[in-house]
Amino acid sequence: MTEAPAILWFRRDLRLADNLALAAAADTGAPVVALFILDETDDPSLGGAARWWLHHSLASLGADLSRLGVALTLRRGPAAAALARIVEETGARRVFWSRVYEPAALRLDAEIEAMLRRRAVAAASFPGALLFEPGEIRSAEGRAFRVFAPFWRRAVAALAPGAPVRAPAALRAASAPPSESLDDLGLTPRKPDWAGGLREAWRPGERGARARLDEFMEEGARGYAAARDFPAREGVSRLSPHLHWGEIGPRQVWRAIARADAPRSDIAVFLRELGWRDFCHHILLAYPGLPDTPLDQAFTRFPWAQDDAALRAWTRGATGYPFVDAGMRQLWLTGWMHNRLRMVAASFLVKHLLLDWRDGERWFFDTLVDADLASNAFNWQWSAGCGADAAPWFRIFNPVAQGEKFDPEGAFVRRFVPELARLDAKFIHAPWTAPEHRLRDAGVRLGETYPLPIVDHAAARRRALDAFDSCRGARRD
């Protein structure tokens, strides 16, 4: 009699090392069916950049599994129905997977567990996407934290990451069921092919994640606390898409960085960034409406503007503020934006243009390779001033001052806004202040080769503060 296989259902854990679901499936000794399901009903908002990343990450995972003697089976459709069909086709008696902590994914887990129970199939799900399970870190009163600092103090005191689980040297392969081809999933752009910048910037997959971590430990961890705010430098890890897709686990990153040859102050600042990622997911669990509903209910009254032209200028990097535009063009070209620019660009949309933070949230979700529901929603609410642990609502970034401080020579702007590349650093963050002869020498014609500012900073700031005051019903101190 043929031995019943175990199904290993990959989700956002597209790696072999430190994958508890994979380790558990291997430990059974049963032949393994490796499965990925593209469930566009469960996650219909998977953006174009994320789809591109997923295609290449699956290609990498398939190659890694093949070296262990196992084929990666690809299916599409509602995950519960697709998984039920695979169980019937293979006669599997056990299913293993890693948990995803989004409202739709948690509902799906419950649906699948019930479906498997009806079929007398054992189900086992495992952590691995976060340092802590959402809801695990609570206040002394048992409530979810809404402020990061006390959350992180308690988390650090509780954290003791063990050694990552090694990838298995081999797996027993079950007879592979029919599979979709990766190309048939339609994850990559056809015509026009807009992904050239993504291909140049990234190496998706577990090996790419490990290489990125090694490079950061060697070149970026030392001095991280200061360098991370300067987008022209290689001062950040760029691990976010690898973490989002589970090509590397946060505990692997924690353990590696904690041992890096860098000052403890730099390491502590970096590890807080991992903690912030966890915090976003903890908030999403406590407030499932986070992607759509402001946590501060006063913001349900906010007088958001309707200005399609302004929104289009922002998405295209044509606001007339070079630091903002450079960040938005970096996003479009590479599928990623430096964190300093994410804050400045988000503040500009919400506070200079008075456009709804959910417009920005949707754009980021479509264009980021690391588009993560919890982090995207939480950070947009943080930028808008309506979320948990939000920046003071009256804090409005000056895009010129931000550029002058964090890109003082204009290197970042010159890279992504090449029409300003020949302009003096003195004027590059506010080209409208340059004398006409300086503009002419640099080949800049404001309003033609580069736009004039679509809003005046001082006037936009006054308008935003008035709007925030009216929304909250109280004046600022």
Residue-averaged pLDDT of the chain: 93
**Mean pLDDT of the region 74-101:** 96
Domain extent listing, the chain: 6-128, 130-163+206-286, 297-471
More confident residue, 240 or 176: 240
Question: Which of 88-92, 192-196, 236-240, 359-363 is predicted with the least confidence, judged by mean pLDDT?
Answer: 192-196
Provide the residue count of the chain.
477
- Residue 475's pLDDT is 40
9, 53, 97, 357: the catalytic one is 357
Residue 212 has pLDDT above 90, yes or no: yes
- Residue 259's pLDDT is 85
Question: Which of 56-65, 126-135, 356-365, 386-395 is predicted with the least confidence, judged by mean pLDDT?
Answer: 386-395
Cα dist from 189 to 47, 185, 196, 336, whole Å: 11, 11, 10, 17
Question: Which of 224-228, 365-369, 380-384, 392-396 is predicted with the least confidence, judged by mean pLDDT?
Answer: 392-396
For residues 101 and 374, give the distance between their C-alpha atoms in angstroms, rounded to a whole number.
Answer: 9
- Residue 45's pLDDT is 64
- Residue 27's pLDDT is 95
247 a catalytic residue: no
Token code pair at residue 435: 């004398």
What is the pTM for the complete model shown?
A: 0.95
Residue type present at position 368 = L
**Mean pLDDT of the region 75-100:** 96
Confidence of residue 391 (pLDDT cuts 50, 70, 90): low
Confidence of residue 476 (pLDDT cuts 50, 70, 90): very low
Q: Which of the listed CATH numbers 1.20.140.10, 1.25.40.80, 3.40.50.1820, 1.10.645.10 matches domain 130-163+206-286?
A: 1.25.40.80
**Mean pLDDT of the region 166-176:** 91
53 a catalytic residue: no
Q: What CATH superfamily is the domain 297-471?
A: DNA Cyclobutane Dipyrimidine Photolyase, subunit A, domain 3 (1.10.579.10)
Residue 191 has pLDDT above 90, yes or no: no
Q: For 325-381, give the DSSP string.
A: HHHHHHHHHHS---HHHHHHHHHIIIIIS-B-HHHHHHHHHHH-TT--HHHHHHHHH
For residues 103 and 284, give the distance between their C-alpha atoms in angstroms, rounded to a whole number.
Answer: 8
Residue 393 has pLDDT above 80, yes or no: no
State the maximum Cα–Cα separation within the chain, in Å, rounded to a whole number.
Answer: 86
Residue 166 has pLDDT above 50, yes or no: yes
| Of 79, 80, 161, the residue nearest 115 (C-alpha) | 80
339 a catalytic residue: yes
The answer to whether 382 and 395 are in contact (CB under 8 A) is: no
Judged on CB neighbours under 10 Å (0-12, 13-18, 19+), 192 is exposed
Residue 1 has pLDDT above 60, yes or no: no
| Of 28, 66, 41, the residue nearest 179 (C-alpha) | 66
273 a catalytic residue: yes
**Measured CA angle at 282 (ends 22, 264), to 5 deg:** 80
113, 133, 136, 304: the catalytic one is 304
40, 133, 273, 419: the catalytic one is 273
97, 314, 380, 382: the catalytic one is 380
DSSP state of 146: S
Sheet (strand 94-98) strand order = 72-76, 32-38, 6-10, 94-98, 122-126
Helix (H, G, I), strand (E, B) or coil at 46: coil
Q: Which of the listed CATH numbers 1.20.1270.10, 3.30.70.20, 3.40.50.620, 3.40.50.720 matches domain 6-128?
A: 3.40.50.620
Share of the chain above pLDDT 70, in %: 97
Confidence of residue 477 (pLDDT cuts 50, 70, 90): very low
113, 276, 404, 432: the catalytic one is 276
339, 404, 419, 432: the catalytic one is 339
Which element (helix H / strand E) includes 100? none
